[in-house]
Amino acid sequence: MFIGWDWATETHDVTVMDGTGRRVDRWELAHTEEGFTTTLARLRKHGDPADLPVAIETSRGLAVDRLLAAGHPVIPVHPNAFHAMRARWGASKAKTDAGDSMKLADYLRTDGHLLPRLEPTLQATLDLQALTRQRTGHVEARVAAVNQLAALLDAHWPGGKVVFGRLDSDIALAFLDRYPTPAAAAKLTPSRLQAWCTRRGYSGRRSGSMLIERMRSAPTAASRLSEAVITQLVRAQIQLIQGIRATIRTLDQEIAQAVQAHPYAPLFAAMPRIGTINLGQIIAEVGPILERAQTCEQLIAEAGVVPVTRASGKSRSVTFRYATNRRARLAMTQFADNSRHGSDWAAKVYNDARHRQKRHPHATRILARAWLRIMWACMRDGACYDPDTHQANNKINTPAEPPLAA
């Protein structure tokens, strides 16, 4: 049996087709709990869920999650690929919900052996993925909030922006909260500022006189807002940044605990300069690809660190791959860029690419591709990454140490 599922936001249409192309059953269901429960029970009447593959034009969502949880093999069909196949069922390319579910079932019957199937991801990986993605969203929100604070200071107090340099540091936020306007900081002296910095554990190399000089040399803003309004705006923005920073710290702790308990963590934890957060991102984004990839080349392509070749007749181009898992590519390239500072082998791969006139992003992707081959081998063999084994296999060429003098 083959099932075609035409999904929508309010109603869905399901068609069940046998191996000869005859429609066995068809119905419409509402996007409600009753609709899904009734549909899954009705599908079980046609056989075991493991023997009832479902073709659907999406790879995520409530319908996909419920089908996977029920044990059905789910085959996602790209809408563009399905649209290109419509001429098979008629030149008019007519479209109805019932017709689309029938066409999906027929497409699965004839071409299902060529289509990849979704595999359920480990629960620990799903939990870690949710944590790392939320952390990424909070980091982006923090950057946006800091940029808004910088714009606010540019308009009303440029001197407050340049005192400590980084606006998202603890000392800079504390300073702006205490002195949110030029009038509030007018009576500051080098000795008072130095004493204030000492009480708050300022670890910078600039003295109080240098900080005062930076603040005084900044241009004066021609602000027409009252001092009370500027104070309220600056302090409200500081509270927003501090709240986001607190949530990021909480998420960091949760991610560290989730990484420590994840079964994939020991495989990659010894890799150079990987870090806890980056390790969590790699497990969360690359881990599902590692689980379902059939070959190492498929893993590399889905992670987006290999170009795509287009050749037809006399024309041939090798271009950047846009259709890929961008989160996985970002996690891998961040790790690859860090690893070259802690591994001679990684540095050699990167430097060789740069000597071939590759730009930094391209060379980083080349190094990430090399690391993915190692991750594939670790996952395939169930062996943890070992730097000593890596070096023993002549993958790291280190210069021989000179003999010590007698």
pTM of structure = 0.79
Last residue of a domain, one of 114, 138, 169: 114
Provide mean pLDDT across the span 380-389: 85
- Rounded Cα distance between 281 and 332, Å, is 9
Q: What is the CATH number of the domain that holds 85?
A: 3.30.420.40
Let me know whether 132 and 250 are in one domain.
yes
Residue that the structure tokens 């500072």 belong to: 341
Burial degree of 218 (CB within 10 A; 0-12, 13-18, 19+)? middle
Query: What's the pLDDT score for residue 323?
Result: 80
Q: Is residue 120 part of a domain?
A: no
The confidence score (pLDDT) of residue 38 equals 92
More confidently predicted of 309 and 271: 271
Burial class (CB in 10 A: 0-12, 13-18, 19+), 396: middle
Identify whether 397 is part of a domain: no
**Distance separating alpha carbons of residues 198 and 208, to the nearest angstrom:** 10
d(Cα 233, Cα 235) in Å, to the nearest integer? 6
At residue 260, the pLDDT reads: 94
Q: In whole angstroms, give the CA distance from residue 298 to residue 263.
A: 23
pLDDT exceeds cutoff 60 at 293: yes
Taking the C-alpha atoms of residue 384 and residue 378, their distance in angstroms, rounded to an integer, is 6
406 CB neighbour count, 10 Å cutoff? 3
Amino acid in position 117: R
Decide if 304 is inside a domain: yes
Is the confidence at residue 79, as pLDDT, over 90? no
Confidence category of residue 406, pLDDT binned at 50, 70, 90: very low
Q: Tell which of 257, 279, 300 closes a domain.
A: 257
- Coil, strand or helix at 318: strand
- Whether residues 31 and 107 fall in one domain: yes
The string of pLDDT tens digits covering residues 37-69 is: 999 999 999 989 888 999 998 887 888 888 988
Domain contains 315: no
229 closest CA partner among 157, 334, 337: 157
Is residue 121 over pLDDT 90?
no
Widest CA span of the chain, in angstroms?
A: 90
Helical spans, DSSP H, in 186-226: 190-199, 208-217
Domains in the chain, number: 3
CATH code for position 241: 1.10.287
Stretch 95-105: mean pLDDT: 87
Query: Is 8 found in the same domain as 61?
Result: yes
pLDDT band at 320 (very low <50, low <70, confident <90, very high): confident
| More confident of the two residues 402 and 314 | 314
**Alpha carbon distances (Å) from 65 to 71, 74, 119, 252:** 10, 9, 11, 27
Residues 27 and 139 in one domain: no
Confidence of residue 392 (pLDDT cuts 50, 70, 90): low
Which structural domain, as residue segments, surrounds residue 299? 266-310+323-392
Sorted by sequence, the CB contacts under 8 Å of residue 365 that are 6+ apart come out as 304, 305, 306, 329, 333, 336
Give me 200's structure tokens: 């708050």
Q: Does residue 22 lie within any of the structural domains?
A: yes
> Measured between alpha carbons, how far is 74 from 55 in angstroms, rounded to an integer?
6
Inform me whether the pLDDT recorded for 391 exceeds 80: no
Interatomic CA distance for residues 371 and 308, integer angstroms: 19
| Residue of 175, 55, 32 whose CA lies nearest to 105 | 55
> Is residue 290 predicted with pLDDT exceeding 50?
yes
For strands 308-312 and 315-319, give the pairing. Answer: antiparallel
Task: Give 135's pLDDT tier (boundaries 50, 70, 90).
Answer: very high
Residues 296 and 235 placed together within one structural domain of the fold: no
Q: pLDDT-derived band of residue 292, with 50, 70 and 90 as boundaries? A: confident
Joined together, the tokens standing for residue 2 give 């083959």
- pLDDT at residue 93 greater than cutoff 90: no
pLDDT average, residue stretch 133-141: 96
Closest residue by Cα to residue 168 from 183, 153, 181: 153
- Tell me what pLDDT residue 393 has: 61
Say yes or no: 101 and 216 in one domain. Answer: no
Looking at 58, 89, 114, which one is the last position of a domain?
114
Residue 386 lies in a domain: yes
